[in-house]
Chains A and B, each alone.
Chain A
Amino acid sequence: MDCRFVRTTCPFCGTGCGMLLKVVDGRVVDTLPDRESVVGRGHLCIKGWSAHEFVHHPDRLTHPLVKKGDSFERISWEEAISLAAEKFRGIAEQYGNDAIGGFSSAKCTNEENYLFQKLIRAGFQNNNVDHCARL
């Protein structure tokens, strides 16, 4: 049995409490407060204590999906990435760069947000990038 405690940061509100994820044989099975964290100091709220519960939920998306009629079909990553690039490039050529936009995410990391805004700004020479800070 491989069992580890991984220090990380709570994915819910903006407080950013430190937490430990208990990982057993490649699955996150429990959440514990991190008593060494300066934020939280060994405390979590009801949501924080439940942070592991959605990680392995059966509803998780596991494959890229493309819309065919009213339903979705699995496609490979290669197909998905080239489809996205082609379609966005096509729209930019037909309607101009300003016709592309993106919503980045308050749930994603700093590094991902940085890359996302760079992707829109450098990829399409516009500044149509935002996220739900206001909501």
Chain B
Amino acid sequence: MKTQQAMIDQAKSLLKKLLEDGEATAVFGLARGMGGVTAPRIFTMPDELDSLVLEPKWPLAKPAMEILRTAPGGYRLAVVCRGCDERALVELIKRNQVDADALVMVGVACSGEQASICLCDRPYPSKLDIGEAAHGVDPFDDPGVKYLLEGDTHTRMGRWERVLKRCVKCYGCRNSCPICVCDPCKLEGEPWVRRGIIPTEILSFHLIRAFHLADTCVACGACQEACPAGIPLVTLQHAMRRALREGFEYEAGLDVNEKTPVLFDFIQAPEKDRPIPDWINTLRD
């Protein structure tokens, strides 16, 4: 296992080279600034990368997308990506929100410790440039996740109601989600969600969000980390992701060319127990 410093050194030299060779116009990552405080930074000069760090976790996919949206033509952004950042950017490319040619992803592995904090089953990007892949964690082994997903409907509803009622409607989950890009956003307008009052209708707000992201969520945890009320939002998504894996053998964010089954599988053969009536074959040409 490489030390943190060795990983940083490796990242610096790799990223410096990208800037020097003109492979990237700028690098997007974390910098340690005055007082030892870490914040996202756009590095445009190789020397600036001296302040680069890789920790703590700071989801960068969404800000990276937003930078690319306003960037001039020909701009290429190298982004320091954890596994979840990479998967989020893959989803954004699929949805034409990010131009793959304007993006250079530099993959960094997460530590095993980070994986257990995030309940991440895949704490590394598919293209791993820096560090070694740690073992993932099965989120369904977590007692907190079990508590909310097990038991009968009534029990689960009661448990979810208690946590969802705390929502202060900051929209932090949406704002920090790399996949939430709809404009206009369904959460903003009636009749879906009543405006101007909290607690908001607990089902509409959070279930609209959960279903909207059902086949794109990469479980990066940005929503939950941004929630001031501590609502375990990723747990909802773990359940959705499991359903997709079990029913369709699909997982978001792994392959730019793999389409979502939710939108595309309905064109396949009809269900066996619902045969198409015979008269259909008697129709004229």
Contacts and interface: CB of A to CB of B under 8 A. Distances in A.
- Are A and B subunits of one complex? yes
Contacts of B176: 33
Contacts of B71: 1
Contacts of A1: 70-72, 75
Contact of B225 (A5, A22, A42, A48): A42
A131 B110 CA distance: 50
A45 B170 CA distance: 5
Interface string B63-78: 1001100111001000
Contacts of A49: 170-172, 175
B39 interface: yes
Contacts, number: 57
A4 B33 CA distance: 13
B228 A43 contact: yes
A46 B41 CA distance: 24
Most buried by A among B39, B58, B63, B226: B39
B267 interface: no
A92 interface: no
Given A5-B39, A5-B40, A42-B226, A33 B172 contact: yes
Nearest to B33: A7
B124 to A, nearest CB: 22
Contacts of B169: 46
Interface residues of A, number: 22
A7 to B, nearest CB: 6
A36 B38 contact: yes
B74 to A, nearest CB: 11
A24 B70 contact: yes
Contacts of A48: 170
Interface in B130-174: 168-172
B227 interface: yes
Given A20-B39, A24-B70, A43 B227 contact: yes
Interface in A112-131: none
A76 to B, nearest CB: 36
B56 interface: yes
Interface string A34-49: 1110000011111011
A5 B172 contact: no
A36 B75 CA distance: 29
A22 B40 CA distance: 10
B42 interface: yes
Interface string A46-58: 1011000000000
A119 B146 CA distance: 62
Closest 4 pairs between A and B when the two form their complex, measured CB to CB: A43-B228, A45-B170, A46-B170, A3-B42
12 contacts: A1-B71, A4-B42, A5-B39, A5-B40, A7-B39, A32-B40, A33-B172, A34-B39, A36-B39, A43-B170, A45-B168, A46-B168
Interface of B: 33, 37-42, 56, 58, 63, 66-67, 70-72, 75, 168-172, 175-176, 225-228
Interface of A: 1, 3-5, 7, 20, 22, 24, 29-30, 32-36, 42-46, 48-49
